[in-house]
Amino acid sequence: MQEEQAYYLNQICSENALYAQQNGKSKKCLIHTFGCQMNERDSEILFGFLTQMGYEKTEKESEADFILLNTCCIREKAESKVLSQLGELKKLKQNNPDLLIGVCGCMVQQKGMADTIRSSAPHVDLIFGTHNLHNLPVYVYNLYRGKGRQITVLEQEEAIQEGMPAYREYPFKALVNIVYGCNNFCTYCIVPYVRGRERSRKQADIVQEVKQLVKEGVIEVTLLGQNVNSYGLDLHDGTTFAGLLRELDKIEGLRRIRYMTSHPKDLTEELVQTIAASSKICNHFHLPVQSGSSRILKLMNRRYTKEDYLRLVALIRRYMPDAAITTDIIVGFPGETEADFLETIDLVKQVQFDSAFTFIYSRRTGTPAAIMEDPISLEEKKERLQRLNDVLGEIGRHINDGLEDKVVEVLVEGPSKTNTEMLSGRTSTNKTVIFAGDSSLIGRIVKVTITEAQTWILKGALAE
């Protein structure tokens, strides 16, 4: 960590210690995280800073001294959620003028957004973008010093920051950034505008971090990047994603390696071979296809065709017949016709996806697709989404039915969200399994016999 950061952290920490002494309780903080795992990881770092400042974590807004919204703008819905939350906070601030409120993340990084929030939400004390989260200590210090609202959004990314603190949610699994940003400019997508260009971390730094995590008890890592397959290419020193995976595979004590997300355009045979040869890299390909129509894929600037995608799936099946394949699909991209949509349905049936995240296209200002003709009504788009989800549900159910009576290895993650009496865990293929067991199993990999298949989850019983 930079010396400057450490200086501000120490200053804030001693003030907060004094506060705790005088008030008999520590200051508390709360971060609302919207969006993807990149944001989850960023929130872990922000929490890391706040913990070092002496803040304690709370789940209750009413008792928080500092509330931060780490925002997402991938679709309009994500933004509306943030804005309604921001509205709620206004009342809290009225009741508690000492409350600090911050807004950061992807939404703020959009052109003009910081100014909009500055003027429309005077209860916000702090605004920063995705490129300057490492400056949180300075901003908080300035707020403590009464230097007024802190609003800083850098237009461009800076050099990668290593060695930032982090507060990790789970002791046994961890998110690890490998490449930041995105160079692909899919025409519908805002991410390249709010996360900057691709920047890979050095392989040695990643290996070192994972080794340290394993020492601390982590057995599963999820490597993060908008397009992990292009990891290393910007370093121009021969570093590749396949090479990184081979290094991580050697780490003793590490049991599972996952990664998010693969772009089909650079999934190579070498990579599939590497994954097939490793017992740690999970049996799961999340390979977003977006559409089954080559015409739409071209308009989306995805740089592959339906046939290319089907060839990739065949390649995966050849080396790893048991691997789960999941995807992301957008329906109602501007100009998508019924015939285009039927190509998507056809592709889904051919691939037999285990599951998929499906979205209705959402217009993002500033992206090329935002100005494309879009004559299809929202009603029709909703109807397409429903038809697609029905087909996916049937396929998912059929695949899961085939798992009944099979024994699978499950990393136990914690109590089930729907029934806290039961445990919930994940298979290597990333399927959720619910079963009865003692909480001492949390964080361990156990064998479970599948007793009942449902469309999106499996029920099971401990096999040993």
Binding site for ligand SF4 (CB under 6 A): 182, 184-186, 189, 191-192, 226-227, 263
With binding defined as CB under 6 A, does residue 353 bind ligand SAH?
no
With binding defined as CB under 6 A, does residue 191 bind ligand F3S?
yes
Would you say 39 or 428 has its CB closer to ligand F3S? 39
With binding defined as CB under 6 A, does residue 124 bind ligand F3S?
no
Comparing CA positions, the residue from 100, 91, 98, 96 lying closest to residue 31 is: 100
Of these partners, ligand F3S, ligand SF4, ligand SAH, none, which one is at the site of residue 320 (CB under 5 to 8 Å by kind)? none
String of DSSP letters for 317-329 = HHH-TT-EEEEEE
Would you say 55 or 180 has its CB closer to ligand SAH? 180
Q: How far does CA 355 lie from the centroid of its chain?
A: 17
Of these partners, ligand SF4, ligand SAH, ligand F3S, none, which one is at the site of residue 73 (CB under 5 to 8 Å by kind)? ligand F3S
In sequence order, what are the beta bridge partners of 448? 408, 462
Would you say 153 or 182 has its CB closer to ligand SF4? 182
Would you say 195 or 302 has its CB closer to ligand F3S? 195
Comparing CA positions, the residue from 151, 77, 73, 68 lying closest to residue 107 is: 73
Would you say 130 or 240 has its CB closer to ligand F3S? 130
Would you say 29 or 356 has its CB closer to ligand SF4? 356
The torsion defined by the Cα of 362, 189, 206 and 154, in degrees rounded to 10, comes to -100
At closest approach, how far in Å is the CB of 225 from ligand SAH?
8
Answer positive or negative: Cα dihedral of 434, 436, 439, 440: negative
Would you say 54 or 334 has its CB closer to ligand SAH? 334
Q: Would you give the binding string for ligand F3S spanning residues 65-84, x where CB under 6 A is met?
A: -------xxx----------
At closest approach, how far in Å is the CB of 393 from ligand SAH?
18
Answer positive or negative: Cα dihedral of 186, 189, 193, 195: negative
Strands 445-453 and 457-462: antiparallel
| Residue with the shortest CB distance to ligand F3S | 35
Comparing CA positions, the residue from 8, 33, 6 lying closest to residue 102 is: 33
Each as own residue / partner, the long-range contacts of residues 374-383 (CB below 8 Å, 24 or more positions apart, any chain) are 374/332, 374/334, 374/335, 375/335, 376/332, 376/335, 376/336, 378/332, 380/332, 381/331, 381/332
Q: Which residue has the tokens 């799936």?
A: 313
- 3-state DSSP call for residue 308? helix
With binding defined as CB under 6 A, does residue 35 bind ligand F3S?
yes
At closest approach, how far in Å is the CB of 414 from ligand F3S?
24
With binding defined as CB under 6 A, does residue 389 bind ligand SAH?
no
Residues numbered 363 to 422 that lie near ligand F3S (CB under 6 A) are none
Position 247, amino acid: E
Element (H, E) at 116: helix 113-120
Q: Would you give the binding string for ligand SAH spanning residues 281-300, x where CB under 6 A is met?
A: -------x-x----------
Q: Which residues bind ligand SAH (CB under 6 A)?
A: 74-75, 188-189, 191, 226-227, 261, 263, 288, 290, 328, 330, 359, 361-362, 364
